[in-house]
A and B are shown apart, each in its own frame.
Chain A
Amino acid sequence: MPNILSVENLTKSFKTGDRALTVLDSVSFDVEEGSSMSIVGPSGSGKTTLLGLCAGLDVSTSGAVTLVGIKLNALDEDDRAYVRNQNVGFIFQNFQLLPTLTALENVTVPLELRGETGYTQKGKTLLDRVGLGDRMGHYPTQLSGGEQQRVAMARAFISSPKILFADEPTGNLDEETAEMVTDLLFNINKEENTTLILVTHNMELAENTERILQLKGGKLVVDRKSRIAS
């Protein structure tokens, strides 16, 4: 399968006062289209930074990220936003729903942004799929954490992204809800044949993906197949 994501010698440094702090240090890997992968590691190991760089949310200090064949480093922020809109889906630990939009509106925003039509029906279908057919007109504050995350999931999948980035998707959920959300995530992902990049502390969750990258101190220390894949 072709690579949907290529990371070459990726380095990210921040300046804190007079000192430069390297959060990611020469990380390289490729991700095949349709595959699933987890990025794990202790706090401060650079997981979230790596996810941000891969998804085009930030730019690296050096090295390159090629997403769906496009070198992100060469693009400005608005072009990267366009690439994200056309190809990328996100699920965040804090759900990140727009508080002034209803559940259905939150889900359909990416398609509206693309200028597509028929998004309302597609949004309704997806909300039905995640079990929230009766909560479409509710605002995020009127939904539970699990419900909000399911709305976020529907939003992530509505644009049929080629790649989905999920940052600790169950981090703010109780065990039972987390399990339900995880099942839903992997099931829809499989149905949609979307490439999945998952950032998590949870090794059990990580083992659900085909491949696991482990970061430590900003370096890639382990790149292995998961138990499921092997």
Chain B
Amino acid sequence: MDYTIKIKKAKKSLFRDEWVWKMAWRDARNNFGRLFLFISSVIIGIAALVSINSFNINLQTSIDDQAKDLLGADLVVNANKPFEEDLWAKFDSTKLEGSLELNMASMVVFMTSTPGTRLVRIVAFDGDFPFYGNLETLPQNAPKLMRSGTFAMLDENLASQYDVSSDDSLKIGGITFKIAGTVSQIPGGGGLQSTFTPSVYISLDDLDSTGLVQYGSRVNYKKYFKTNSQQETDELLEELKPLIRQYGHSYETVEGRKNNLGDGFENLYRFFNLLAFVALILGCIGVASSVHIYVKEKKSTVAVLRCIGASGWQAFNIFFVQTTIIGLIGSILGVGLGLLIQYVLPILLQEFIPLDLELSIAWAAVFEGILLGLIIAILFSVLPLIAVRYVPPLTVLRTNYEELKSYSKTRMLVVVLIILFPLAFAAYQSKSLAIGFFFFLSLVAAFGCLALVAWGLMTLVKKNFPSRWSFVWRQSLANLFRPNNQTLVLVVVIGLGAFLISTLNIVQNSLLNQVEFIGKENQSNTVLFDIQPSQKAGVVQLTKDNDLPIQQLVPIITCRLANVKGKSVADIQKDTSDAIPNWAITREYRVTYRDTLTASEELINGELQHISNDTIYVTISEGMQENLEVGVGDRLVFDVQGVSIVAYIGGVREVDWPTDPPNFIFVFPTGVLEEAPQIYVLTTRIDAQSKANTYQRELVTSFPNVSLIDLRLILSTIDEFFDKVSFVIQFMALFSIITGLVVLTGAVINSKFIRFRENVLLRTIGALKKQIQRMTILEYAYLGFFAGLTGIGLSLLSGWALAIWFFEIIFFPDVLSLGIIWVSIVLLTMLIGWLNTRDVVNSSPLEVLRKET
């Protein structure tokens, strides 16, 4: 009689299957080392993400909290000319508490133990500004002293630069001021502002007596208001807006300051987001790669479990539980590390941020980090883990038995989710589907190109196989296309790592290049401005007496637009369908006159400025032509100090603004503006510091209102700033690079399992250890070479696209550092390849062969 047994096995859910959890623990307790690659990928990826997101959240919160303190008032009206009478009348009618500030650039003579002259920002104000935020000074009564007259306060870094003490004094224009104290914090100042344009603060009552405000002086006017409520601010603004707009002034509210600050950090956010994306994607590859290795190692264990009755899902669940729990631990550790780094970032960035960063644990970033870590750990480990379900039990009898099934619905679903993940994450992180799509397409294109290169390499080597080469060279080349080769996998993974790391490098260089002062290439390094016509000859003589070349002596006339293409400025303002921005029609234009182009200009349309049949033809710069929506032949009316001058656009110039300043939006022909009130700008080059000191001192003594810009000083300040920014960027990029290295190591270790048996067999039949090592190292050298080259080639494309479209900056790759990345990848691949051979050369062939029986 035959037995009749019904299959009545009860299906257990993962959470109720104790055996699975027990086995997961038993298996993991001796395997933590093996799971190191896995957990490190998660930790680094999540740490980068959390530190960046948490920092962003804290920065945004600080901006929100401190915007009022940063503005110092509820409303500020800004102008670059004195406020008009009717506007003053409005200001006065408000009866609100207010303060007036005038600021301008001027030379200051330091009469201190370290005497010197320097261009600074003179800030003169009255009233009780700031109304909000801190005015931190040393001593505390310095503002009171300053308001009492002929006392000045100065930024603390400026004070330390010239060793200023309380007994010292400084000369501004024609007046000597005693030092009231130093300013460490003031709304609207500090941070970068004080690095680039250090300020000296005086009472508004003292400004006139300095004689600095003359014709042509660029003075900024600020009227600060303190209101009692947001409603009052809104009402005040509604009342002032028409006149502000009419006169081309501007205003700033607390909300506006918040937005401006947010916009100011846009590139920083974007770069950090890119870093987070790269680190996370590399982390994903790291997870998939390490689990793939892990699963390979576990194949025999799974076969035994299947043999003694474990179902495919049970076997899968054992490792699923392991990777999920370890992924969770990795996420938590990553979040912890990320939060720690978050506390380091402000130390690095504090100088560049004009506010006190208040750090707290950004719980949103914490939960997001844990959740994303878990998703990555699960999603990217599931694909290699699915193979566990299909390990045939027959593997216990024959090691090379094929997988039961290569296609499954689960596998397809996971593949689809894996494809969607980078797209969804990039879109979420950048808050833009278009940007997310761009990142995603870059990744897909990179995968495709790398796969193509791998396939091409295999085909090329196979077709042109050098059969006369030595055994080692032939064998290493043959490894590239033989069955079970790792060419495709390694080229794709190493290449992708190289692609991401070098893309980051290119973006970093382009960003850093953006802040480099292009004036470096400019021959002039000293610019004198605000030279009155009566001072022109004297300044020229002084320059010649100091044996300095006069490279440019340019007249500057200030004027405004009165009419554009037959429409008055007022009509353009009223016409809501007109797209010409208000600032473009109301601003003050500084124009010059000459009949030639300078080295920084190129005529791209029409003719050079000229007079033809008593008609004046001016040239306009390319960008402003678009803003004013004018073209060659269009009519303009200029208001030059009350005199109307009709002119036509004769041509359009492309201007390379930073090169050879000063450059101009409008250039008139000679013979028109010679009699108009004007000032002059003179440029020269000074090489020796001693000569610069003498020249500056003599200039300030003889012509106190003339200001001098020492480009070398600016360059050294920018260099310093550049070094700090560069350090921050490199520090953050380090995450992605470390994750990339983890991935690379994982990929190469993975290939070890494929080559191990073959190399042992070669040893068995007499290959020397050296030959095995050379063969392996050569194989990895080819792979590293081609993968690195392709990855870097692709990164040039993606880096260019990112620079142009995403960051909107100039594409500036650094060939040397890309070369270093390439060589490093080849060497690293070779090193890991060599390390992989150590097991082979140190294992007894018999031991391995026995295992394989």
A residues sitting closer than 8 Å to B (CB atoms) are 2-4, 6, 48, 51-52, 57-58, 66, 68-70, 75, 77-79, 81-88, 90, 92-94, 96-101, 105, 109-110, 112-115, 139, 155, 167, 172
Contact = CB atoms under 8 A, between A and B. Distances in A.
B395 to A, nearest CB: 9
A81 B1 CA distance: 24
B541 interface: no
A100 B26 contact: yes
Contacts of A98: 27, 301, 304-305
A58 B30 CA distance: 31
A2 B3 contact: yes
A82 B9 contact: yes
Tell me which of A4, A81, A83 has the highest count of chain B C-beta atoms within 10 A of its own C-beta. A81
Interface in B1-58: 1-5, 7, 9, 19, 22-23, 26-27, 29-31
Contacts of A90: 307-308, 396
Contact of A68 (B5, B9, B29): B5
B404 A86 contact: no
Given A93-B853, A100-B26, A115-B19, A70 B5 contact: yes
B300 interface: yes
Contacts of B495: none
Contacts of B4: 69-70
Contact of B393 (A48, A57, A66): A57
Contacts of B23: 109
A94 B312 CA distance: 23
A167 B22 CA distance: 29
A176 B399 CA distance: 28
Contacts of B384: none
A85 B397 contact: no
B2 A3 contact: yes
Interface string B808-851: 00000000000000000000000000000000000000000011
18 contacts: A3-B2, A57-B396, A57-B397, A75-B7, A78-B311, A81-B393, A82-B311, A83-B7, A87-B5, A94-B851, A98-B301, A99-B30, A100-B26, A101-B26, A101-B27, A105-B26, A113-B19, A139-B30
A35 to B, nearest CB: 15
Contact of A113 (B29, B30, B308, B394): B308
Contacts of B853: 93-94, 172
Sorted nearest first, the 4 A-B pairs with minimum C-beta distance are A85-B309, A69-B3, A78-B311, A82-B9
Tell me which of B4, B304, B392, B851 has the highest count of chain A C-beta atoms within 10 A of its own C-beta. B304
B83 interface: no
A84 to B, nearest CB: 5
Contacts of B1: 2
B611 interface: no
A167 B27 contact: no
B691 interface: no
Contact of B306 (A6, A75, A81): A81
B313 interface: yes
Tell me which of A90, A93, A113, A114 has the highest count of chain B C-beta atoms within 10 A of its own C-beta. A113
Nearest to B9: A82
Contacts of A100: 26-27, 29-31, 301
A133 B396 CA distance: 27
Contacts of B520: none
A167 B397 CA distance: 8
Tell me which of A2, A6, A68, A96 has the highest count of chain B C-beta atoms within 10 A of its own C-beta. A96
A186 B27 CA distance: 32
B22 A79 contact: no
A162 B396 CA distance: 21
Contacts of B850: 172
Contacts of B309: 81-82, 84-86, 88, 110, 113-114
B404 A77 contact: yes
A6 B312 CA distance: 26
Given A68-B5, A75-B7, A52 B397 contact: yes
Interface in B564-614: none
Given A84-B308, A110-B309, A4 B3 contact: yes
B454 to A, nearest CB: 25
Contacts of A85: 308-310
Nearest to A66: B2
B462 interface: no
B398 interface: yes
A100 B303 CA distance: 14
A57 B308 CA distance: 10
A70 B305 CA distance: 21
Contacts of B307: 57, 84, 90, 96
Contact of A92 (B3, B19, B397): B397
A79 B11 CA distance: 11
Tell me which of A66, A68, A69, A77 has the highest count of chain B C-beta atoms within 10 A of its own C-beta. A77
B314 to A, nearest CB: 8
A154 B4 CA distance: 27
Nearest to B3: A69
A139 B314 CA distance: 23
Tell me which of B9, B314, B394, B397 has the highest count of chain A C-beta atoms within 10 A of its own C-beta. B397
B296 to A, nearest CB: 14
Contacts of A51: 397
Nearest to A110: B308
A148 to B, nearest CB: 13
Contact of A69 (B2, B306, B393): B2
Nearest to A84: B309
Nearest to B314: A113
B66 to A, nearest CB: 56
Tell me which of A52, A79, A115 has the highest count of chain B C-beta atoms within 10 A of its own C-beta. A52
A69 B27 contact: no
Given A90-B308, A100-B30, 12 more contacts: A2-B3, A48-B398, A57-B307, A69-B4, A78-B311, A90-B307, A99-B301, A100-B27, A100-B301, A113-B314, A139-B30, A172-B850
Contacts of B29: 100
Interface in B539-559: none
B22 A112 contact: yes
B580 to A, nearest CB: 74
Nearest to A70: B5
B3 A78 contact: no
A92 B310 contact: no
B81 to A, nearest CB: 81
Contacts of A99: 30, 301
Given A68-B3, A100-B301, A113 B393 contact: no
A93 B19 CA distance: 27
Contacts of A52: 394, 397
Contact of B397 (A48, A70, A155, A172): A48
B305 A96 contact: no
Contacts of A86: 5, 309
A113 B310 contact: yes
A113 B23 CA distance: 10
Interface string B306-329: 111111111000000000000000
Interface in B464-495: none
Interface in B341-396: 392-394, 396
A88 B308 CA distance: 8
Nearest to B298: A100
A33 to B, nearest CB: 8
